[in-house]
Structure 1
Amino acid sequence: MCRLTIVTTAGRPDEQSLKLAELASQELNAEIISRQKRSVRKLAEIYNANIIVAGKNRFEYYAKGAEAPFFFHPNSAAFRLKRVARGEEEPLLTASAIQKGDTFLDCTLGIGSDSLLAAFAVGETGKVTGLEADKNVAFIVKTGMQTYDTTELPLTGCMRNIEVIHSTALEFLKKQEDASFDIVYMDPMFEEVIEESTNFEALRFAGDHIPLTDEWVKEAKRVAKRRVVLKAHYKSDWFEQYQFQRDGRLTAKFHYGIYIK
């Protein structure tokens, strides 16, 4: 059963915060609750709910019980894009063999970093679709991509071209025609936690963590025109189980698996 979500504002809301709260309320069909000097933790306890906080220039999502909020920021993708711009190899792009004009389906959008890399690679003639199973996370990332000031990180302007859809991967894939996306990409939450990765803790707590299944992989292979790419912990047996060619790197905690049609 899905937990209730409510919307509130920062402690001292301005006009912009109130407008953002109204937007979140409409998009998520969630009630706006006045802050009244109460902490986010207190509101979560009173209403037994997840909390969306409309701040002055962004949304923050506190899943019930979370100590830190999930919010959109393209920092990690911007760092990777700078490396690509310098001509350095980006493992995701190499594994995907992305070309200008390609269609790329990200089955597990999360914070959107991988989709942003893909959007940069496919260019204006291509298309990237990102699926996110958690409605609140999808809302945070979608609005963030639409409104983030890309002048600060100019290479990230391609985020405007990403279509964010609230859906589980399997639900969406079943509705697609055969070979309808050039590349289908899957990055389920790792079976084993990578201790060094602290950037994703808020998402790990907030998002829906749906394990890989036979049906999911079967549908991904059907919908992909050229290849399916799987990202998983280096200890994972998914690569062998689902017949993906492992693209291993000696120092990496995760590997990419490639299935070429």
Structure 2
Amino acid sequence: MFVTTAGRTNEELTYKAKMIASELKAEFVPRKKRSVSAIQDIHHDDCLVVGKERLELFPLGEKEPFFFHPNSAMFRIKRLMKGESDPLIEAAGLETGMSFLDCSLGLGSDSIVASFAVGETGSVMGVEARPELAYLVKKGLKAWDSGYQEINQAMSKIEVIQGYSLNVLKRQEDRSVDCVYFDPMFDESILESDGIRGLSHFAVYEGLSKETLDEAIRVARKRVILKDHFRSNRFAEFGFKVHRRKSSKFHFGVIERE
């Protein structure tokens, strides 16, 4: 991947882009009034464009860029504000002050909703394997203005960890996080959704191994949660108690630690 600036740039934006390139250990390429595709024709790589308002990630060969957006988290939190329920929050039993480790961060929608649910005294960590995606989401969570102070606060307090979930879990203490969450279906469904289709190029298909789950059970103080397709054999394979949801493509499974 290489980094460049938006079409209309200045010294400040160029400096910012160079700093981001340095952070990501990527090459900085001056824009020189060229289109992103023209630069990609030369460098044959993904491109991160640094603009005044946001970062945009252009996968090689794709016409549309990917940029951070809270996606479904917005209307899910608005439902919670009205006193309605959310299936993840119910399955995880999330309450004010709890801690939540999201091993499938992606765009961060589930982490944002979890962060809202646990409130100021709670904590949320999200794990993303790809460095460029982790960086983009980390910055987006801090900068995005949803128009709602509660949602902005929920986004800004999420800690983004770049790495593989198994490695991150191994670094955690026993029973140190209330809930550990997996959404392997996220990687498998990204091609089906317009909102996250641009992410398919960056997905890391970790799956869910027994070793990873064993680490999650060790780390979890209260429970481990799995979101998966309703036909998935992972629920039975790993011993999850399934919360069945009528007319939904996915269910939540839970392994209780208490």
Which SS does the other structure have where 2:62 is aligned?
Answer: coil
Matches for 1:189-228 after TM superposition, within 5 Å: 189-190=185-186, 193=189, 197-228=193-224
In structure 2, distance between residues paired with 1:58 and 1:221 = 37
Of the three residues 23, 43, 46, the one matched with 2:39 is 43
Of the three residues 98, 101, 121, the one matched with 1:102 is 98
Aligned residues: 256
State the match for 1:156 in structure 2.
151
Of the three residues 233, 244, 250, the one matched with 1:248 is 244
Which SS does the other structure have where 1:83 is aligned?
Answer: helix
In structure 2, distance between residues paired with 1:96 and 1:50 = 36
Indicate conservation of the 8 Å contact 2:242/2:253, yes or no. Answer: yes
Identical aligned pairs, as a percentage? 45
Q: Which has the higher helix share?
A: 2
Q: Offset of 1:27 from its aligned partner?
A: 1.8
Normalised TM-score (structure 2) = 0.92
CA RMSD of aligned residues (A): 1.8
Q: Offset of 1:175 from its aligned partner?
A: 1.3
Show structure 1 runs of 5+ residues with no match.
Answer: none
Q: Offset of 1:189 from its aligned partner?
A: 3.8
Distance 1:52 1:69, change over 3 A: same
Distance 1:200 1:12, change over 3 A: same
**1:146 aligns to 2:176 (yes or no):** no
Q: Which moved more, 1:120-129 or 1:8-17?
A: 8-17
**1:70 aligns to 2:62 (yes or no):** no
- CA-to-aligned-CA distance 1:7-33 (integer Å, 9 cap, x gap): 011222245533441332132122210
Indicate conservation of the 8 Å contact 2:104/2:186, yes or no. Answer: no
State the match for 1:52 in structure 2.
48
The one-letter code of the counterpart of 2:171 is: K
Which SS does the other structure have where 1:101 is aligned?
Answer: coil
Q: Offset of 1:56 from its aligned partner?
A: 2.1
**1:185 aligns to 2:215 (yes or no):** no
In structure 2, distance between residues paired with 1:195 and 1:50 = 19
State the match for 1:89 in structure 2.
85
